[in-house]
Structure 1
Amino acid sequence: MKWTKVVLPAVVLVLGYAGMKGIEASASDKTPAEKIDTRPTVTIDSLTPEDVRVQLSSYGEVMPLETTNLAAQVSGEVQMWNPKLVSGGLVRKGEVLFTVEADTYEAALLSAQANVASAKAQLIQEKAQADVAAREAKTMPNSQVSELYLRKPQVMSAEANLKSAEAQLKIAKRDLENCEVKAPYDALVVSRSISTGDYVTQGSPVAVLNNIESAEITFPVAGFDSRFLEAKTVGSEVTVSDNTISNQNGQGISVKGVIHRDTGIVDNNTRMSYFVARVNDPYSINSNKPVLKFGSYVSVSFEGKVLEDVFRIPQELVTEQKVWTLDEDNTLHSHKVKVVREDSGDFLIQGDFNPQKVVMSLPEYPQNGMAVRVIENTANAVTAKAN
């Protein structure tokens, strides 16, 4: 069958051509494929300039305003010591800490009083004799009258003896008063080295006291923070916090103080300046505020200068001192900015840029002039903005 060998291929070709035309016809009836937007997406937000008060913080150790090595001013046997005169005891200014046997000093006082009385009597006697001599001298020639005859040296000697006796009386009174050793200020007792019956000598140390009327904290201010200090830092209020001690709410304690002085020294190695804060009544014997113990390592925070017209922006949006904005055609542009300060995870910046269209989420590789598509996050959905 030769004709089948010729006809069959022709039929196959005709059918294939017809099928191709049918496919083209059906494809032409469909709508054109939608064009895909391949631009990277970004989000934008506006920034508002604000004035920000700089908050500065540092650390330091709480130390007493002064420490006294208490010593006996008279010698004698210790008769009694205050039960508060123990390590950790708190005593008030003027409170008796211990007493020394006073018999010897009471006798010395009586002797001094007697000497004063005797000296006064002697002076009275000399003055009376001088008056008699002066009256007699009026009837005598001037050549026979001398100062010795008028008893002037005797009167001066009696006056000197009285002053000496009064001085000894003053010393005797002081020594008797010093038999009671009193606290020179409100104090924390650090140590005591005497007991009842001990014999103490004048000048021998008996206890160590810390002044609790005020405490001081010496704290550093780093060089990069120094430019944010107020012109009158001394006298500024500070907050002193100790997070190692918890209050009733389980939080660290805080008390108020003031910056008392600038030490006037910049450390050669660290380039830090040092200030001293002072806290009154750290052991709260005159108030109900939290106790701030000596030796505690605390934080010190206080206010610095006000930064005017700065923008707050998350740190991750500032790369190489640049921020990115959009123009009216939704293309990216970078702007050089000045990072004034870091604050609570943000940067405070200043610069010449459009604060109304700051890019808050950048493409992976942003370029100047890159066209982008802006998306807006709402509470319900994410919608696309058209150009």
Structure 2
Amino acid sequence: MIETKDTTGLYKFIIRVIICISILISGFLGMKMLANLKKPPTEAKKIEKPLRVMARKMVSQDISVKIKAYGEIKAKDMVNISPEVSGRVTFIHPRLETGEIINTSEILFQIDDKNYIAAVKELKALVAQGESSIQRVQTQYSIDKKRLKNKKRNMELSKDEFLRVKRLFQKNKVGTQSQVDVSEKNYNLATDQFYLLTQTIELYPYRIKEAQYALTANQARLEVALANLERCQVKAAFDGRVKWVQIENGQFVNKGQHVLSLANDKQLEILVPIDSRDAQEWLQFKESKNVHPSIAWFDDLLNVSCLIHWTEAPDQQSWTGKVHRVVNFNEHTRTITIAILVDSKNAVSHKKHSLPLVEGMFCQVEIPGKKLKKVYSLPRWAVTYENTVYLAKENRLKTVPVTVAKLEPEIAIISKGIEPQDIVIITRLTDPMENALLDIIFEQ
């Protein structure tokens, strides 16, 4: 009974499996039949889409490198004016105000000169007195030298008289002892007078020298007094612009007190720092070096003309200047500071509605550097950061390495890696596919 039940269950399981397999086979055959009824799609042709780019056919050329730098315009000469004497201000130039132009030799301000005039008069009197004293001493010197002969003769006569009276008294008993004493006294007096006058005459040269020294000292003091009197008037040494002023009429000013600043705008100067590597590679120096062989400095810089642009209007305002000298070498920034000079004639533009080049303007300077021969010029973006460019060869993109001789803000100068008539892509590309098909538009 148990075996019959087991056989019936196995039979039912087999039946179910067969039914499931039949259903799966029927479904597969149905899908196959439906797939065969569908027409296959037509095969699409693969068409390569070209990359449209702008290109330039390269021609070698000689290019003068331009070194660009920035700096602020300053007046080359600027004088801080201070009075050389003290006193009260009695006059001020009517146009002594910031920004005004004062001409050469015009009086800027004047200091009260009464005390200085009195000092000059006093010293002139002392000089005259000294000259008179010297003349008086010299005259007395001449007179005393003549008197000395008389004194000597008197001394000799007194001596002879003394000896005569003494001999008569001692041998012949003529006269008295009193007469002998009187004659001796006269002889001693004449001798004293002779030697006293001799001593006085010997001191005359020293007295004359002392008087001359005193006269020289008073003459020097008179020169100082005259100079101080002249310094009471402070005049402009050049045609200048009043840059700063702090002085009022009636004000008491001290010697050395800074009261105004005068700028000479006839020659302007702009100091521009240049990278030392650019200076080494591109600055132009004179062929004959060592003008001063004993001095280690940049004395042979070529004074080339350069172009100056005002940064506020670089396309509208420009002037010409000239490279003048090397000012310094900065060991911290590794830059060389160059001085550019601009004459007042070149600082004034004759264009309509244009401004002059004045102190305080921040400018860009283009300094002509050395000339590169047989090089190629490309837009800077046409050269990648890896120093490669994209060429078009048989309408296919090729990447080639190049040597960049100089990078400027807008262009790159290539010295190696490009040949004449090469077609270089100047469209800005980002990771283009190598060997990509190109649709080339040549630059006009």
TM-score between the two structures when normalised by the length of structure 2: 0.63
> RMSD value over aligned CA atoms?
4.0
Letter of the 2:275 partner, please give it.
Answer: A
Deviation, 1:244, is 3.8
Count residues in correspondence: 335
Note if contact 2:378-2:413 (Cα within 8 Å) is conserved in structure 1.
yes
Note if contact 1:133-1:150 (Cα within 8 Å) is conserved in structure 2.
no
Deviation, 1:177, is 0.9
Note if contact 2:392-2:425 (Cα within 8 Å) is conserved in structure 1.
no
Deviation, 1:54, is 1.0
Mean Cα deviation higher: 302-311 or 113-122: 113-122
Q: Give, in whole Å, the separation in 1 of the partners of 2:217 and 2:60.
A: 80
Deviation, 1:274, is 2.0
Equivalent residue, structure 2, for 1:119 = 130
Mapped pair 1:236 → 2:304? yes
Cα deviation, 1:270-328, whole Å, max 9, x if unaligned, reads 4333222233449979x99953332222222221111111012334443432335566x
Q: Give, in whole Å, the separation in 2 of the partners of 1:294 and 1:266.
A: 24
Equivalent residue, structure 2, for 1:308 = 373
Q: Give, in whole Å, the separation in 1 of the partners of 2:212 and 2:146.
A: 22
Gaps of 5+ in 1: 1-34, 380-387
Deviation, 1:167, is 1.0
Mean Cα deviation higher: 128-137 or 215-224: 128-137
Deviation, 1:130, is 3.1
Letter of the 1:127 partner, please give it.
Answer: Q
Equivalent residue, structure 2, for 1:15 = none
Note if contact 2:56-2:426 (Cα within 8 Å) is conserved in structure 1.
no
Q: Give, in whole Å, the separation in 2 of the partners of 1:351 and 1:87.
A: 57
Note if contact 1:243-1:252 (Cα within 8 Å) is conserved in structure 2.
no
Mapped pair 1:262 → 2:326? yes
Mapped pair 1:348 → 2:413? yes
Equivalent residue, structure 2, for 1:72 = 83
Letter of the 2:319 partner, please give it.
Answer: V
Equivalent residue, structure 1, for 2:226 = 173
Q: Give, in whole Å, the separation in 2 of the partners of 1:179 and 1:197.
A: 14
Task: Name the structure with the higher strand share.
Answer: 1
Letter of the 1:260 partner, please give it.
Answer: H
Equivalent residue, structure 1, for 2:274 = 221
Percent identity, please: 24
Cα deviation, 1:179-237, whole Å, max 9, x if unaligned, reads 21112433322343332223333333433333434333222113553322223546333
Would the alpha carbon gap of residues 377 and 239 (structure 1) be closer, same or farther in structure 2, given more than 3 Å must change? closer
Mapped pair 1:57 → 2:68? yes
Task: Name the structure with the higher helix share.
Answer: 2
How do 1:266-277 and structure 2 match up within 5 A? 266-268=330-332, 270-277=333-340
Cα deviation, 1:61-117, whole Å, max 9, x if unaligned, reads 223335444322223332211012112222123220111222222222222222222
Equivalent residue, structure 1, for 2:342 = 279
Equivalent residue, structure 2, for 1:201 = 254
Equivalent residue, structure 2, for 1:104 = 115
Q: Give, in whole Å, the separation in 1 of the partners of 2:115 and 2:227.
A: 13
Equivalent residue, structure 1, for 2:101 = 90
SS of the residue aligned with 1:294? coil
Would the alpha carbon gap of residues 170 and 211 (structure 1) be closer, same or farther in structure 2, given more than 3 Å must change? same
Deviation, 1:158, is 1.8
Equivalent residue, structure 2, for 1:323 = 389
How do 1:284-299 and structure 2 match up within 5 A? 291-299=356-364
Deviation, 1:51, is 1.0
Q: Give, in whole Å, the separation in 1 of the partners of 2:331 and 2:121.
A: 60
How do 1:35-54 and structure 2 match up within 5 A? 40=50, 46-54=57-65
Q: Give, in whole Å, the separation in 2 of the partners of 1:62 and 1:200.
A: 32
Deviation, 1:339, is 1.2
Deviation, 1:358, is 2.2
Would the alpha carbon gap of residues 235 and 205 (structure 1) be closer, same or farther in structure 2, given more than 3 Å must change? same
Would the alpha carbon gap of residues 306 and 361 (structure 1) be closer, same or farther in structure 2, given more than 3 Å must change? closer
Letter of the 1:239 partner, please give it.
Answer: L
Q: Give, in whole Å, the separation in 2 of the partners of 1:366 and 1:66.
A: 61
Deviation, 1:128, is 2.7
Q: Give, in whole Å, the separation in 1 of the partners of 2:407 and 2:98.
A: 46
Q: Give, in whole Å, the separation in 2 of the partners of 1:378 and 1:69.
A: 58
SS of the residue aligned with 2:202? coil
Note if contact 1:73-1:203 (Cα within 8 Å) is conserved in structure 2.
yes
Q: Give, in whole Å, the separation in 2 of the partners of 1:173 and 1:151.
A: 32
Q: Give, in whole Å, the separation in 2 of the partners of 1:332 and 1:199.
A: 83
Note if contact 2:380-2:409 (Cα within 8 Å) is conserved in structure 1.
no
Would the alpha carbon gap of residues 342 and 258 (structure 1) be closer, same or farther in structure 2, given more than 3 Å must change? same
Note if contact 2:311-2:362 (Cα within 8 Å) is conserved in structure 1.
no
